[in-house]
Amino acid sequence: MLINKELQNFKSATTDVLVVGVSKNQNNVANWEQFVEFFGGPIEQWIKEGDIQTNAKAITKIPVFSAEAKVKRVVFVGLGNRKDLTPDILREAFGLVGKTLRKHKTSSITLWMDSFETDEIPASDAVIFAAEGMSMGAYTVENYKTTSNEADARLEQVSFISNTDIAELVAGYEVGEIYATAVNEARTLINKPGNILTASSLADYAVELAKNYDLEVEILDKAQLEELGMGAILAVNKGSKEEPRMITIKYQATDKWEDVVGFVGKGVTFDTGGYSIKSKTGLVGMKGDMGGAAAVLGAMRIIGELRPNKNVIGVIGSTDNMISGNAFKPDDVITTFSGKTVEILNTDAEGRLVLADAVSYAKQQGANYLIDIATLTGGVITALGYDKTGALTNNKAFFETFLDASSETGEFVWQLPLTENDKKRIRKSDVADLNNSPGSDGHMIFGGGFIGEFVGDTPWIHLDIAGTSDARSAYDLGPKGGTGVMVRTLATFIERIAEQD
């Protein structure tokens, strides 16, 4: 995409679409009179009478009739009351703009950034939300239909009208585009069918990602996992013909490999539930059980692009969970990479087993802080619904810093308690150190708490994205399917703590 590095004005802008923010009272918008003169119609009357809607996130499209204008159409974006406009609402509004642009196969736009400013949101921030929202909103799910011959419509050029310095606008748009591209890449991974995205192909993707951004990468295959004694991920993999992979990507920002933040993602490319088999409806959609892995890869892409001054390691345990004569089963006892033993009570509680070995490996590789991300339990949906990510932590200060990042990105996270009584139930077994499924009550807490048994005193956050990783229907920032949730929050978290350091 070409980002025009010269500011435009209403008369010089040559573009398919001019994007303008509108509220009921436009009097305080810089250069509003010039726009009214340029547009050449009774625009203020249309706003007053509702022909141009000003409700938050309302989209109105009007052709430009002026013979002098080099703009084909104006897309008006309703902002509601500017005093109530938030970054989340603005980002979502631009998501709807992105959908509109894609529908009309728009190739060039000009953003009048001053029309989106408020007392709290300067144009230099609004342009970031514009880039994020439009790119995420325009995303479509890759399909495999043989009858589809429609040309892919892409936005090719972006220009700006503003009183703000052009360098600030260009830099902000580039950052927003980097974030959105990483989210969309994660979505594409989540949406891939399990017969196409296997553990080995996910590892190949990670290798290519690392190569593109000069990151260190290590891929452990089945033989290497056996040599290291990673009995938990190997147990989950026993029923499969596809070999597992332990994927590690390192970004070293400082001379010494210290003060390292570790992202650990669940990469189960398809989950049947094993012998604790899912229902026929429960099986559908299990291609997305690697949403945590996608979030880690998306975050590492952003980190590779922006190069924050913070050491980061991403570890992904990847396999599928299948059924065969070799598959693991209830009553089995396995030995994890940490040496702890686990009694298997439920083969559909496999993600926590994969992550047990993965967080242990991340610690061995130098992680001083841990955040694991997983589509782990249906229990988090029962507790919080489909729009909230559930969290556990063993370190309040660490979690609060992360929560600031999630607030900034608009990805809602809610902490649940992990009590000593919960831990006792996870540790209850006549034959092993732990059991992998204490009960269906408090399911999300037991799932995350099990992973917590392997982190020790390391500051740790568990994120259960089972509800938020997949959208059941189209929404402002994307279509039905994988959402790429937590990509932006993880990367923002790293950026903010790097700034503090």
Positions marked active-site = 278, 352
Q: Can you list the alpha helix ranges (DSSP code H) found in 311-350?
A: none
Q: How is the beta sheet containing 108-112 ordered, strand by strand?
A: 2-3, 157-161, 108-112, 15-22, 71-78, 59-63
CB 364 within 8 A of CB 255: no
Q: Can you list the alpha helix ranges (DSSP code H) found in 256-367?
A: 280-283, 291-306, 351-364
CA distances from 467 to 87, 132, 139, 158 (A): 23, 22, 20, 35
Distance CA 321, CA 332 (A): 15
Which tokens in the block code for residue 501? 């350091």
CB 179 within 8 A of CB 23: no
Q: CB neighbours (10 Å) of residue 360?
A: 22
Angle at 365 between CA 363 and CA 368, to 5 degrees: 45
CB 73 within 8 A of CB 64: yes
87: left (phi over 0), alpha (psi -120 to 50) or beta: alpha
Helix pair 166-191, 291-306: axis angle to 10 deg: 150
Q: What is the DSSP string of 83-138?
A: GG--HHHHHHHHHHHHHHHHHTT--EEEEEGGGG--SS--HHHHHHHHHHHHHHHH
Which tokens in the block code for residue 199? 């553990």
Distance CA 147, CA 412 (A): 39
Distance CA 165, CA 185 (A): 31
Gyration radius (Cα) of the chain, Å? 24
Q: CB neighbours (10 Å) of residue 496?
A: 17
Phi, psi dihedrals of residue 202, rounded to the nearest 5°: -65, -40
- Residues 6+ positions from 202 with CB-CB distance below 8 Å: 189, 245, 247, 267, 269, 290, 293, 316, 318
Angle at 145 between CA 141 and CA 148, to 5 degrees: 90
